Amino acid sequence: MDADITDPSDWLSTPLSSLSTLDALLRCRICRDLYTAPMVTECAHSFCSLCIRKCIAATPASEHPCCPICRAAVTEVKLRRNQVVEEVVGWFRAGAREGLLSVAREGGKGRKRARVDDQDEKRSEAASSAAAEVRRSTRARPTAYVVSTSSSTSLLTITSSYQEIPPSPEPTTDGAYVNLDDDDDGLVPCPVCDKRMTVKQVTRHIDSCLSLKANTSSSSSTTPSSSTSTKPKTLLASSSTTPPHQKRLPKIQYSMLSEPKLRQKLQDLKIPSHGNKQALQARHSEWVSIWNANVDRSVPRAKTQLLRELAAWEESLDRFPAGSRVSAEGLEEWGVKHKGDFRELIAQARRNLPKRAEAKAEVEGEAELESDKAAE
């Protein structure tokens, strides 16, 4: 059940074990996933929009919501988007992570040309078997990873300010440097498309290659390569096809509303409106979180996708109820009985959707559903 969950520890068995730190820094501390629509709090901590909104929604009315990390007071309307983190995560998730990881794993296998000096070998015995061929320069030149495989050598300049990132918990491979001079053709493969080119070219090429890949896989009618600005196309691609629901939903004082009035609110929002007041309240609150978190995405998803998310939430509520007050069988029956509600609403929302927006959102949605399945 745990094979396909990406995790910072994925890097530890590779020569690029230090990247587990970067990987961990790009994850929300609540869901442990790469950030989705990261929001920064007043205390400067970041969480996925949905995670922090759910957290705030779950705070008892008698208490002030607080930051899950430092417990400073948090006010929902003061959450701000963390744009740069979102862009970095978008780049990382769109293929860079996978590409780098596969390069790293390759590097871990072929270690023919490793040059290891004695001192270093002593220091990192545990890591040496897997990581011998990768050495990080700690000298004045830009920080670089060198990965030798039997057929090729690729150099990935990660960042020149690498040293600021705290060291990984694994024995590291600090200290030594492997020269590139024993290269056969001087060319290296792009970690994404495998095309061979010079080291200089590859650093520039990766960005365009990644956004190209993202665009073709989403099969949406996005602007072609004309807009090769510094902005990642993966994030801006469908600003023209964004569904027109950009307004946040207000919170409700549930204690002030009668059950019929609350039910009417759910009907107005075109979400399922069955169940008692407690069920209505929980569903409405969840929907407000899902909806508002969606507004925080640079590429909001279609309502069909949000309805599916609500349905998934309701299903997990049935499968993993809090406490043991209701019998499991009863809940399952209830779930089956009302599943039709969601199906009908999703179909409805789909019919109402502009065609192009739907194409985009569907592809996104599917990718996400797949990663969910993989997680289970």
User: What is the contact surface with other proteins in residues (CB under 8 A)?
Assistant: 1-2, 5, 7, 9, 28-33, 36, 48, 50-51, 54-55, 58, 68-69, 71, 309, 312-313, 316-317, 319-324, 368-369, 372, 375-376
Task: Give the Cα separation of 93 and 355 in Å (integer).
Answer: 26
Closer CB to Zn ion, 70 or 367, in the complex:
70
User: Is 187 one of the binding residues for Zn ion (CB under 5 A)?
Assistant: no
Task: Give the Cα separation of 18 and 162 in Å (integer).
Answer: 10
Contact partners, residue 80, CB within 8 Å, separation at least 6: 39, 40
Q: What is the DSSP letter of 253?
A: -
Closer CB to Zn ion, 53 or 283, in the complex:
53
Task: Give the Cα separation of 247 and 361 in Å (integer).
Answer: 18
User: Is 367 one of the binding residues for Zn ion (CB under 5 A)?
Assistant: no
Q: What stretches of the chain adopt beta strand conformation (E)? A: 38-40, 46-48, 80-81, 145-148, 153-156, 188-189, 196-197
Task: Give the Cα separation of 253 and 267 in Å (integer).
Answer: 17
Q: Please work out, in degrees rounded to the nearest 5, the angle formed at the alpha carbon of residue 317 by the alpha carbons of 333 and 331.
A: 20
Closer CB to Zn ion, 43 or 367, in the complex:
43
The piece of 62-70, 104-112, 285-293, 346-354 that touches Zn ion (CB under 5 A) is 62-70
Four-CA torsion 38, 40, 46, 51, nearest 10 degrees: -60
User: Is 165 one of the binding residues for Zn ion (CB under 5 A)?
Assistant: no
254 binds, among Zn ion, other proteins, none (CB under 5 to 8 A by kind): none
241 binds, among Zn ion, other proteins, none (CB under 5 to 8 A by kind): none
Please count the other Cβ atoms lying within 10 Å of the Cβ belonging to residue 170: 19
203 binds, among other proteins, Zn ion, none (CB under 5 to 8 A by kind): none
Distance of CA 331 to CAs 125, 148, 149, 334, 359, Å? 54, 56, 55, 5, 35
Selected binder of Zn ion within 31, 57, 252, 317 (CB under 5 A): 31
Token code pair at residue 216 = 């073709």
Closer CB to other proteins, 64 or 356, in the complex:
64
Closer CB to other proteins, 29 or 343, in the complex:
29
User: Is 70 one of the binding residues for Zn ion (CB under 5 A)?
Assistant: yes
Closer CB to other proteins, 33 or 106, in the complex:
33
Closer CB to Zn ion, 30 or 317, in the complex:
30
367 binds, among Zn ion, other proteins, none (CB under 5 to 8 A by kind): none
Interface with Zn ion (CB under 5 A), residue total: 15
CB 178 within 8 Å of CB 148: yes
Residues 212 to 241: which contact Zn ion by CB under 5 A? none
CB 361 within 8 Å of CB 218: no
193 binds, among other proteins, Zn ion, none (CB under 5 to 8 A by kind): Zn ion
Selected binder of Zn ion within 5, 43, 374, 375 (CB under 5 A): 43
Please count the other Cβ atoms lying within 10 Å of the Cβ belonging to residue 93: 20
Phi, psi of 147, rounded to the nearest 5 degrees: -120, 115
Site string for Zn ion, 114-133 (x = CB under 5 A): --------------------
CB 178 within 8 Å of CB 146: yes
Which single residue is written with the structure tokens 């365009």?
A: 208
Closer CB to other proteins, 111 or 303, in the complex:
303
Report which secondary-structure segment, H or E, holds 29: none
Q: CB of residue 24 vs Zn ion: minimum separation in angstroms? A: 13
Closer CB to other proteins, 32 or 343, in the complex:
32
User: Is 66 one of the binding residues for Zn ion (CB under 5 A)?
Assistant: no
User: Is 28 one of the binding residues for Zn ion (CB under 5 A)?
Assistant: yes
What is the binding site for Zn ion (CB under 5 A)?
A: 28, 30-31, 43, 45, 48, 51, 67, 69-70, 72, 190, 192-193, 209
